Chain A
Amino acid sequence: MTPVLQVRNLHVDYETATGPVHAVRGVNLDVHRGELVGIVGESGCGKTTLAYAITRLLRAPAHLTAGSVTFQGVHDTTPVSVTALTGGALRKFRWDRMSMVFQGAMNALNPVQRVSAQLQDLFHAHRPRMSKAERRTRVGELLDLVGLPGRVARSYPHQLSGGMRQRVMIAMALALEPHVVVMDEPTTALDVLVQREILDAISELRHRLGFAVVFITHDLSLLLEISDRIAVMYAGRVVELGDSARLRENPQHPYTTGLLNAFPTLRSERRDRHGIPGHPPDLSVPIAGCAFADRCGFVRPECTTTDVPLLPIGGGDVACHLYTTERQEVSR
């Protein structure tokens, strides 16, 4: 079955006074129908930029410089080239087929409009033939869907708790029954207990409605628990991609191993753990070879000189020279 979303060789630059910063440097990613794909990495690794590029929400100074995003709905006869959409076609596509839950619900909602007005706005824009009564009913249904009482419709955002606001954001993202929902750190600002409620709600809705989720966070512990597959990003690239159980048991890329060791989990034994030494590279200068080389404990001569693509290794995809040599040895 064709993936609902295919990202191919995506590149995004930020124009700055001192030249372009290459925030996303050639990302390939498939999202299958109904699956939850996690994207994890440190601040500045390009995960949010990638999300904005996929949803076509990039604004200057960010520019898509190369690559494509292709969307294939169940009933579509031909795939939609998301990156080629413009004007009215883009407006029609956005939110209807693919929506987004933004990082800070407090900032994403309009503080001077009631929740019902903000939800109805979607129907004004995308379902112009809906009657007033239908819109109202739909708002009620949506709030009910995300477990909020009907009175929330009449509330202003400041009258709601952080968790309730995040539920409103999710209701908004699901309003037009999209096939893909991109969620950018949807629970980071929330309390542990509220985070758990929201995660449960997302998982329940996903099973009921069948949409796919691209879930972005820096919390690998959380992703391992909820994702079907995980893409680990470093310096604008996916360095490891695979099944979350495989990634947890058998990480291949030294950066993934580093991330896994960088936090204790609730049940893990008490032992010496360390963060990953060093800093991510400056993305305004071209990177020769592997971007992680100067922080890596397994660095080899070729790491600093030769680029390494994402290659299938041990049931997943890994971009690391440790395995390219092994492959060559095997093929000999």
Chain B
Amino acid sequence: MTELSAHDLVRDYSGFRAVDGVSFTVTSGQTLALVGASGSGKSTIARLLSGLDRPTSGTITIDGEPRRPGYRALREYRKHVQMVFQDPFASLNPVKPVHHQLARPLRVHGLDGDRRAVLELLDRVHLRPADQYADKLPHELSGGQRQRVAIARALAPRPKVLLADEPVSMLDVSVRLDILNLLEELKRDNDLAVLYITHDLATARHFSATTMVLNAGRVVEIGDSDQVIFHPADDYTRRLAAAAPDPWR
């Protein structure tokens, strides 16, 4: 059982407070949805949790242990906490074949980065036959396939926590569900803790038991997804729910 917790996180950017005292916990085998409009601080939180940025104050703990500073500690931390980025067209190295992009994180984290391990990763994200995909360059893949490679890369160090920052917003409608279903399956089979960051309340509700709403860097509401979306206590959540496209309106 793994728990990644944020305790009173604050991040200031030259006079602007992007994240303002945020605390929450992501637990093994569960998905926590983090929703909010642009500029609410969603991605900053992802950057803080992934170690791409440091909080101005507050702590991040994994299984109660605070994240320590320093490169070695960061690498150790990233073995457990991995991120899937929004744009699969920008997050893969365009001049390296897929097997290279998957072998590297394996080796960086002290694992065996041979072809067999790479194929196994590709198989886990349903890129089959894995042997063919391994030799392709990113431009030979569709958006959905690229995002699967990005997910496979995140799975390489066998993390316990996956941070997915708008993992499907750049993808075609017809493949979005498949990527979200894949994350769901990986979570279930590997007992991963998943933080699903999105502006889309509909998928937040469908893929997470718990939803957390962020506005101007603060958590305005957190609770059972149905409760938060259908019976919002906060005015901002109400506006967000009312703004979501609804074919039955």
Listed in ascending order, the chain A residues whose CB lies under 8 Å from chain B are: 42-43, 162, 191-196, 218-222, 224-225, 248, 258-259, 262-268, 270, 272-276, 279
Contacts and interface: CB of A to CB of B under 8 A. Distances in A.
B174 A258 contact: yes
Contacts of B246: 221, 225, 265-267
A274 to B, nearest CB: 6
Given A267-B246, A270-B206, A192 B174 contact: no
A196 B241 CA distance: 11
Interface string B214-249: 000000000000000100000000011111111111
B174 A259 contact: yes
B245 A219 contact: yes
Contacts, number: 94
A265 B247 contact: yes
The winner among A43, A191, A275, A276 for most chain B CB atoms within 10 A is A275
Interface in B117-142: 142
A104 B206 CA distance: 30
24 contacts: A43-B172, A192-B200, A192-B201, A192-B244, A193-B37, A193-B240, A194-B37, A221-B245, A225-B245, A259-B173, A262-B176, A263-B176, A264-B206, A265-B202, A265-B246, A266-B205, A266-B246, A267-B246, A267-B248, A272-B181, A274-B177, A275-B177, A276-B174, A279-B142
B38 A264 contact: no
A268 B202 CA distance: 8
B57 interface: no
A196 B177 contact: no
A221 B247 contact: yes
Nearest to B230: A267
B181 A274 contact: yes
B78 interface: no
A248 B247 contact: yes
A8 to B, nearest CB: 28
B173 A220 contact: yes
A262 B37 contact: no
Contacts of B38: 162, 191, 194
B146 interface: no
Nearest to B142: A279
A43 B173 CA distance: 9
B178 interface: yes
A274 B205 CA distance: 16
B172 A191 contact: no
A192 B176 contact: no
Contacts of A225: 245-247, 249
A42 B176 CA distance: 11
Nearest to A277: B178
Complex A-B, nearest 9 residue pairs according to Cβ-Cβ distance, in ascending order? A224-B247, A196-B243, A222-B245, A275-B178, A191-B38, A264-B206, A276-B174, A221-B245, A275-B177
Contacts of B240: 192-193
Given A191-B199, A221-B247, A224-B247, A263 B177 contact: yes
B132 to A, nearest CB: 15
B111 interface: no
Given A191-B38, A193-B239, A196-B242, A263 B175 contact: no
Nearest to B247: A224
B164 to A, nearest CB: 17
B93 interface: no
A194 B239 CA distance: 11
A272 B244 CA distance: 21
